[in-house]
Amino acid sequence: MAGFKLFTISAIERSGHGSASAQIGHELTLDIMAGRLAPGDRLAEVALAERFDISRGPVREALRYLASIGLVTFTPNIGASVRVMSVSDAKALYEVRAALESEAARLAALRVDARAKDELRHVLQQHKESVAKHPSGAYLQRGGDNDFHSLIARLSGNYLIEQALGQELYPQLVLLRAQHKKVQGRGQIALVEHQRIVEAIIEKDSELAAMLMRRHLTASYTSFLGQIQGEAE
């Protein structure tokens, strides 16, 4: 998932931080998403300040922002570290995701036009080709308009849904999966579920699109939960 565009400099700048903090936050996010920084790794301000050749102030601001979007945690007398997500964290994440994405699918079906239909078909074709090359692989979100879920969020026409998913929920989802690297995906099954969701959106069946999206994400969570519980045994 290293190619997933999860973080934009403009996002941290809008939150009141300077461009230096934005750049640091951007670089650290890329490191976390690519697995160069693993869940539980310390994020010492002094070391980061030396790495970026800057004072500790911008580093501290960047870490605070990453904590606000769920990628970093602060522990008293220890400091910042890459967040380690619990099973309850995963459950909460998927519950909110299901609520937002099912609504996104419903709105996308209400607002779909010819261009949107073409975009959906294009992304679905990419998914088919990916599954054909790696039949036992997972469906990996790539971000932007090349990703099924991100595209539907945009096609919903609701910028708050798109922002909540793209800037908070999806980064945490990638972090969660990075924490459980051995969990296998549902590539072929997800493809069938994606096809049904696209059909419902194209047919402008908003209620069916929402229901299918919720079922899809519930099934994804059930599969994920079963596997991470198996890891602990």
Q: Tell me: the pLDDT tens digits for 119-156?
A: 999 999 998 888 888 766 555 555 555 789 999 999 99
DSSP category for residue 231? H
Residue 41 has pLDDT above 50, yes or no: yes
pTM: 0.81
Interatomic CA distance for residues 90 and 83, integer angstroms = 12
Are the CB atoms for 221 and 89 separated by under 8 Å?
Answer: no
Q: How far apart are the first and last CA of the chain?
A: 27
Residue 17 has pLDDT above 50, yes or no: no
Q: Tally the C-alpha atoms within 13 A of residue 58's C-alpha that lie toward its C-beta.
A: 21
Q: Which domains does the chain have, with CATH numbers?
A: 9-82 (1.10.10.10), 87-232 (1.20.120.530)
Residue 42 DSSP SS3:
strand
Mean pLDDT taken over the chain:
86
Residue 219 has pLDDT above 90, yes or no: yes
Angle at 101 between CA 33 and CA 125, to 5 degrees: 75
User: Helix 206-232 and helix 187-202: axis angle, to 10°?
Assistant: 160
pLDDT given at position 205: 98
